[in-house]
């Protein structure tokens, strides 16, 4: 293996010359962030700062105030569930437009880590448990954005597949597994999408050659990524992940984010002066930075001034009508019909339902997601949507003439909702709207006293000598009944309501903890407060909170103020929903997770639906068999009532157009043609990798290449729904399979027939099994067949499916050491429903088998 870095591009010489013109100080300044989201500019050479922003659910922009809104996409797993590269390219175009709209040069997305365990907190941010599907989707997305001059920073390199203790654990993975599963999408992105940037992970890797932080992993980053694959872009650190100067320099890190302080900000200059880091090592990083700047338009090699990131053709707009329509179509198409035994879908086509055009059918729309769809997971991918579509309103429009009632029915959240600070809180001293914030020094001296502040759970940029943030507010409780009020926080704290202690903590937390457990939705401690009829109360809320000092973020503290209004008991709420279901012609139940459950920062302790939602579904199914269940979740959850439900649709974390998309699916204007990009377990006990809890700091990938469905196939276990499953709303027969091998590729042609009554899309899936190793089945490729015209029930034959492109057949990720031989090619509707077979002779070691996309 070579440890050489990239060969210069055709612009290499010019870039090299520019690097030569920079001073050491300028060079050090360039490889350390200028703040949270920007790099430094060097006006002298015409270089402006480059601006970055999080994805992958949208482009949030660089303001945390929540004032700037963004187009909110469905979760990345939903995009992958379309298996549709055209839709994906359009997503890439919209990412580029959103980036420019927000003045952003590079989006910190996509996340191409593998869904190794269904409990992974960031599962929803990833595409798939399969590296081939992950790679194909990512390549299409990144290409489309980069073609428009916007960089995508592909993350997190590598084997950063779970969140428990995420800033510290080391993933122990053998080289074959790394290459075949976890590195594979990155390799495709470098080779086929010419990715401009890669983000190095918080966690570490032990691949047998080196065990330590990913950012210091010289064999994998300098060696494989830059040397072997020829990556000529920038390796960016995950935020605050840099732990060393020399180790990370040698490892292959090019840009420490954020800055300007931190390990490199404080130590890199001195390390060069001391000779611990050679200047040419720095030069290589600077050259990469400049290359990125040229690519995104922050530097022009002809000497002219660069434009701003918002330059040119991208106006300042909200989601345009076209973008909203695209997102709605994408979201509806991504939805997966898990089952529809009674043929309820779409509701408008279902004469037995009594709903639809001109009818007066009664529809009971039930569930926490029915009232308030869970649109996105928690963590850094969060965006404030441009707008949201309301499910009840959209469903009423989709089912004209129906009579629709709405019922929450269940409670999925542990924490009460966020307190409406602007409406309910006043500063106890000034009386202004908001909370009072005092910043205290170690000895209790008040350093700052800030009147009438907003509070959204975070406070950044706290002065560096502050040790405690004291928050106080008078909270108005008007409605009669029992209120619940409290605070969720981590670290040293002391929370009081009317002088009575609600919660204390004496564990000093560091940035690692805050970026993990404390980052999102700490469990709140609450008190109950009774308010009598006609006698509103004002209570004093006071909280002393530990301030955490971190690089780039300045210093901050985290505390969610929560408040539940008086209301019916959980049992009354459930009973009301069940009664409505019983009285309706059809019930639609929307159940799912919440951002407390699916979030960056922690993994899930259980795959169960949170709260009493399973009970709700069971009771609704008992009350009305004509029930459609919509699962509003990004990652797998157990559906213990699945056998008893007639119709179940996976509705994802659907983003801003989710309400409209669910209505389109139920109302019949868009086929839910998604196919699962992961395996849905039936029982927790069957899950091949049930958790990722580090043992003595190690997460051991003992399953090797048997990730996701490969493990299910190996173990012969039946999941609730296999990888690739999705029924759509028509049926298909698989008629014939032919293969043709030439020196570049194996082309697979499959003839399928739409044997149902409606037009539809079919994802024809091809899986390869290595000779003598049937359990290594892996997705080899797929093609999408779409008939627009409605087919008659009498078996109108759809046109033969065009050749399904097989992008990875006998590919370079083939298991190291595998002998050439006859591979079994199996084609069908999912890995659990394979209908046609062929044998293809392949030599995985030979480049001649490397397919070229056609």
Q: Which residues carry out catalysis?
A: 238
Pairing of β 204-206 and β 170-172: parallel
Q: Which is nearer to ligand BGC, 254 or 287 (CB)?
A: 254
We find the least distance from the C-beta atom of residue 256 to ligand BGC, in angstroms, to be: 13
Nearer to ligand BGC, 136 or 238 (CB): 238
Binding mask 114-153 for ligand BGC (x = CB under 6 A): ----------------------------------------
E-state strands within 651-787: 698-700, 732-741, 746-754, 761-770, 773-786
Rounded to 10°, the helix 658-667/391-398 angle is 30
Asked if 74 contacts 653 with a C-beta cutoff of 8 angstroms, the reply is yes
Please, what is the minimum distance in Å from the beta carbon of residue 155 to ligand BGC?
5
* DSSP string for residues in 453-504: E--SSEE----TT--EEEEEEEEEE-SSEEEEEEEEE-SSEEEEETTEEEEE
Report in angstroms how near the CB of residue 53 gets to ligand BGC at its nearest.
9
**Residue tagged 């690089």 (tokens):** 551
Name every residue whose Cβ is closer than 8 Å to that of residue 804 and which is 6 or more positions away in sequence: 748, 749, 750, 764, 766, 781, 782, 783, 827
Q: Is 380 in the site for ligand BGC (CB under 6 A)?
A: yes
Q: What track of x and - describes contact with ligand BGC for positions 264 through 303 (by CB under 6 A)?
A: ----------------------------------------
- How is residue 608 written in tokens? 């169960």
Whole-number Å distance between alpha carbons of 709 and 775: 9
Most distant pair of Cα atoms in the chain: their distance: 84
Q: Is 718 helix (H, G, I), strand (E, B) or coil?
A: coil
Q: At what angle do helices 85-101 and 321-334 cross, to 10 degrees?
A: 140
Considering only CA atoms, give the Rg of the chain: 27
Please, what is the minimum distance in Å from the beta carbon of residue 309 to ligand BGC? 18
For the residues of 438-450, what is the DSSP string, one character each? EEE-TTS-EEEEE
Q: How many residues bind ligand BGC (CB under 6 A)?
A: 7
Report how far residue 235's alpha carbon sits from residue 222's, in angstroms, rounded to the nearest whole number: 10
Place of tokens 């002298």: 44
Minimum distance between the CB of residue 687 and ligand BGC, rounded to whole angstroms? 24
Using CB under 6 A, which of 216, 238, 254, 595 touches ligand BGC? 238
| Pairing label, strands 698-700, 170-172 | parallel
From candidates 169, 186, 229, 239, binder to ligand BGC by CB under 6 A: 239
Q: Taken in order 189, 190, 196, 200, is the CA torsion positive or negative?
A: positive
> Nearest approach, Cβ of 61 to ligand BGC (angstroms)?
12
Closest CA to 716 of 674, 690, 686: 686
Cα separation, 705 vs 176, whole angstroms: 8
Q: What is the 3-state secondary structure (H, E, C) of 696-709?
A: CCEEECCCCCCCCH
Burial per residue of 689-709, b for 16 or more beta-carbon CB atoms within 10 angstroms, e otherwise:
beebebeeeebebebebbbbb
**Rounded least distance, CB 703 to ligand BGC, Å:** 24
Contact (CB, 8 A) for 514 and 559: no
Q: Which of 223, 257, 234, 237 is nearest to 160 (CA)?
A: 237
Question: Of the two residues 63 and 847, which places its CB atom closer to ligand BGC in the complex?
Answer: 63
Q: Which of 32, 515, 711, 842 binds ligand BGC (CB under 6 A)?
A: 515
Structure letter (DSSP) for residue 392: H
Nearest distance from residue 380's CB to ligand BGC, in Å?
4
* Residues 43-62 interacting with ligand BGC (rule: CB under 6 A): 54
The answer to whether 161 contacts ligand BGC (rule: CB under 6 A) is no
Q: Which is nearer to ligand BGC, 58 or 726 (CB)?
A: 58
Residue nearest to ligand BGC (CB): 380
What is the closest distance, in whole angstroms, from the C-beta atom of residue 109 to ligand BGC in the complex? 8
Buried b (16+ CB within 10 A) or exposed e, 480-519: eeebbbbbbbbbbbbbbbeeeebbebeeebebbbbbbbbb
Which of 108, 383, 487, 548 touches ligand BGC by CB under 6 A? Answer: 108
- To ligand BGC, the closest distance from the beta carbon of 517 in angstroms equals 13
Note the residues at the interface with ligand BGC (CB under 6 A).
54, 108, 155, 238-239, 380, 515
């Amino acid at each position: 293996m070579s440890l050489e870095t990239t060969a210069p591009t055709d612009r290499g010489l010019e870039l090299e010359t520019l690097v030569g013109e920079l001073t050491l100080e300028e060079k050090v300044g360039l490889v350390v962030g200028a703040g949270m989201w920007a790099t430094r500019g060097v006006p002298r050479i015409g270089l402006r700062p480059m601006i970055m922003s999080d994805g992958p659910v949208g482009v949030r922009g660089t303001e945390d105030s929540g004032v700037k809104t963004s187009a909110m996409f469905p979760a990345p797993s939903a995009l992958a569930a379309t298996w549709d590269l055209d839709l994906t390219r359009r997503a890439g175009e919209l990412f580029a437009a959103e980036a420019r709209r927000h003045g952003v040069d590079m989006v910190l997305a996509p996340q191409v880590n593998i869904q190794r365990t269904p409990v992974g907190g960031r599962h929803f941010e990833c595409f798939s448990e399969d590296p081939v599907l992950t790679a194909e989707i990512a390549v299409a997305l990144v290409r489309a954005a980069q073609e428009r001059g916007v960089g995508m920073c592909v993350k997190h390199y590598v084997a950063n597949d779970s969140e428990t203790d995420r800033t510290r654990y080391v993933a122990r993975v053998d080289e074959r597994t790394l290459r075949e599963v976890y590195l594979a999408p990155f390799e495709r992105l470098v080779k086929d999408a010419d990715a401009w940037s890669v983000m190095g992970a918080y966690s570490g890797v032990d691949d047998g050659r080196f065990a330590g932080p990913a950012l210091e992993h010289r064999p994998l980053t300098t060696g494989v990524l830059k040397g072997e694959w020829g990556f000529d872009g920038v390796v960016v650190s995950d935020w605050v992940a840099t732990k060393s100067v020399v180790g990370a320099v040698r490892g292959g890190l090019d840009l420490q984010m954020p800055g300007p302080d931190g390990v490199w900000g404080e130590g890199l200059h001195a390390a060069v002066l001391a000779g611990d880091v050679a200047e040419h090592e720095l030069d290589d990083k600077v050259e990469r930075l400049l290359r990125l700047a040229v690519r995104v338009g922050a530097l022009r090699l002809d000497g002219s001034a660069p434009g701003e990131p918002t330059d040119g053709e991208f106006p300042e707009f909200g989601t345009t009508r076209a973008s909203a329509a695209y997102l709605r179509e994408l979201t509806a198409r991504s939805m997966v019909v898990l089952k529809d035994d009674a043929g309820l879908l779409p509701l408008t086509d279902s004469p037995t339902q009594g709903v639809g055009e001109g009818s007066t059918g009664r529809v009971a729309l039930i569930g926490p997601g029915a009232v308030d769809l869970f649109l996105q997971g928690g963590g850094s991918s969060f965006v404030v949507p441009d707008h949201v579509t309301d499910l009840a309103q959209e469903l009423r429009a989709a089912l004209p003439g129906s009579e629709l009632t709405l019922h929450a029915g269940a409670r999925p959240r542990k924490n009460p909702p966020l307190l409406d600070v602007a409406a309910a809180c006043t500063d106890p001293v000034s009386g202004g709207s908001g909370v009072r914030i005092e910043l205290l020094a170690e000895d209790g001296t008040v350093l700052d006293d800030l009147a009438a502040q907003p509070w959204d759970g975070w406070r950044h940029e706290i002065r560096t000598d502050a040790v405690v943030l004291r928050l106080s507010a008078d909270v108005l409780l008007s409605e009669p009944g029992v209120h619940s009020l409290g605070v969720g926080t981590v670290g040293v704290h002391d929370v009081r309501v009317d002088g009575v202690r609600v919660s204390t903590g004496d564990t000093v937390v560091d940035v690692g903890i805050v970026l993990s457990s404390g980052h999102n939705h700490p469990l709140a401690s609450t008190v109950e407060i009774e308010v009598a009829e006609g006698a509103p109360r004002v209570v004093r809320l006071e909280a002393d909170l530990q301030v955490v000092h971190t690089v780039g973020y300045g210093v901050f503290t985290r505390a969610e103020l929560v408040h539940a209004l008086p209301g019916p008991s959980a049992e009354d709420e459930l009973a009301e929903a069940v009664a409505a279901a019983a009285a309706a012609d059809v019930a639609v139940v929307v159940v799912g997770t919440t951002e407390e459950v699916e979030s960056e920062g922690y993994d899930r302790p259980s795959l169960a639906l949170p709260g009493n939602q399973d009970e709700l579904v069971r009771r609704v199914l008992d009350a009305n068999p004509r029930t459609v269940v919509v699962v509003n979740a990004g990652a797998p959850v157990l559906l213990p009532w699945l056998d008893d439900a007639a119709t179940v649709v996976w509705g994802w974390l659907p983003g801003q157009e989710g309400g409209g998309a669910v209505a389109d699916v139920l109302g019949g204007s868009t086929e839910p043609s998604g196919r699962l990009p992961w395996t849905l377990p039936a029982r927790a006990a069957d899950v091949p990798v049930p958790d990722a809890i580090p043992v003595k700091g190690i997460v051991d990938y003992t399953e090797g290449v048997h990730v996701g469905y490969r493990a299910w196939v190996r173990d012969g276990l039946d999941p609730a729904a296999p990888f690739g499953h999705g029924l759509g709303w028509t049926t298909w027969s698989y008629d014939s399979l032919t293969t043709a091998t030439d020196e570049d590729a194996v082309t697979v042609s499959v003839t399928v027939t739409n044997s149902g009554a409606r037009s539809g899309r079919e994802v024809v899936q091809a899986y390869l099994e290595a000779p003598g190793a049937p359990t290594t089945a892996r997705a080899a490729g797929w093609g999408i067949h779409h008939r627009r015209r409605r087919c008659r029930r009498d078996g109108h034959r759809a046109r033969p499916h065009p050749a399904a492109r097989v992008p990875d057949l006998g590919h370079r990720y083939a298991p190291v050491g595998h002998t050439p031989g006859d591979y079994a090619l199996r084609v069908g509707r999912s890995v659990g429903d394979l209908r046609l077979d062929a044998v293809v002779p392949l030599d995985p070691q030979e480049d001649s088998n490397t397919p070229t996309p056609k």
